[in-house]
Amino acid sequence: MNNIPHIKSGKVITAENLTKKFGHFTAVDNISFEVERGEIFGFLGANGAGKTTAMRMLCGLSIPTSGKGIVAGFDIESQTELVKKSIGYMSQKFSLYDDLKVWENIELFGGIYGMKDNEIKEKTDELMKVLNFENERDKLVGSLPLGFKQKLAFSVSIFHSPQVVFLDEPTGGVDPITRRQFWELIYDATSKGITVFVTTHYMDEAEYCDRVSIMVDGRIEALDSPKNLKKQFNATSMEEVFHQLARKSTRKAD
């Protein structure tokens, strides 16, 4: 990408007192945090805690009611289009087009993000090799098993080399072996300097993150490495930490 300004600090995401209100309801309540380049940042919380709303603001899809956010060097309020160009996004629900072939999906998304044809071609060859997908290249995405699809969807979401990729429950419903292979792809992406912002309901996956934040009723109630969080809450697993915090919730919504 040509127009990404040089980022002096190692921060890829900065949120300062970020708030989103819908009428009288405060979905996201004054959250502040920073995510470092190359970090795997786990964004946890119960259903209805405000994760999706916060994530939509960080992706430039929803304007904050108050507070400030910088993602990949761009303001999430005034530079939403630049934010969108610099990030990748993948969710369990929307991944790829089932009725397009593997290479067609890649070309489509590469094109949308403004990549050049020869660049798309070169990177597609490389990706097919890495994923061991050379035989699947001309197959319709709809014919692939779910696990393959999710791995491909992740690879497509970082195909344009975004600075940060947002993953919204990427492993929901995926079989246990593929779920683990998926995380190996995440590790590989961070080794190339891509920052990963991920939500999950699998607490074992929280352990794979460098740092984890836990949202309760719109606020970030805890933020640290899994190791430190376990120490802080005197717990043996992230599951226990999560239960201790989520129990504090007073929001009737969920």
Partner 1 sequence: MYAIEVNNISKNYYSEKSGKFAGIGVNPLLLEESTNNNLSNEGISFDVEKGEIFGIIGPDGAGKTTLFRILTTLILADSGNASVDGFDVVKDYKEIRKRVGYMPGRFSLYQDLTVEENLNFFATVFNTTIEENYELIKDIYQQIEPFKKRRAGKLSGGMKQKLALSCALIHKPSVLFLDEPTTGVDPVSRKEFWGMLKKLKDQGITILVSTPYMDEATLCDRISLIQNGQFLKIDTPKNIISQYKNKLWAVQSDTMYKLLTDLRANELTKNCFAFGDKHHLSIDNEQLTIDDLKEIIVKSGHTNVVITEIEPTIEDCFMQLSQV
Residues at the contact surface with partner 1, assessed by CB under 8 A: 45-49, 92, 98-99, 140, 142-143, 145-147, 169, 172-178, 180, 183, 187, 201-208, 226-227, 237-239, 242-243, 246-247, 252-254
Least separation, in Å, of the C-beta of 246 and partner 1? 4
CB nearer partner 1, residue 85 or residue 149: 149
CB nearer partner 1, residue 76 or residue 216: 216
Given a contact cutoff of 8 angstroms between Cβ atoms, the answer to whether 84 and 76 are in contact is: no
Least separation, in Å, of the C-beta of 34 and partner 1? 24
What are φ and ψ of residue 115, in 5° steps?
-75, 150
CB nearer partner 1, residue 126 or residue 254: 254
Other C-beta atoms closer than 10 Å to the C-beta of 94 total 10
Given a contact cutoff of 8 angstroms between Cβ atoms, the answer to whether 89 and 165 are in contact is: yes
Least separation, in Å, of the C-beta of 199 and partner 1? 10
Strand intervals (E) in the chain? 11-22, 25-36, 40-45, 66-71, 74-75, 87-91, 164-168, 195-199, 211-216, 219-224
CB nearer partner 1, residue 42 or residue 69: 42
Tokens 């995926």, residue located:
174
Least separation, in Å, of the C-beta of 99 and partner 1? 7
Other C-beta atoms closer than 10 Å to the C-beta of 188 total 13
Q: What is the edge-to-edge ordering of all strands in the sheet holding 25-36?
A: 25-36, 11-22, 66-71, 74-75
Least separation, in Å, of the C-beta of 192 and partner 1? 14
CB nearer partner 1, residue 50 or residue 88: 50
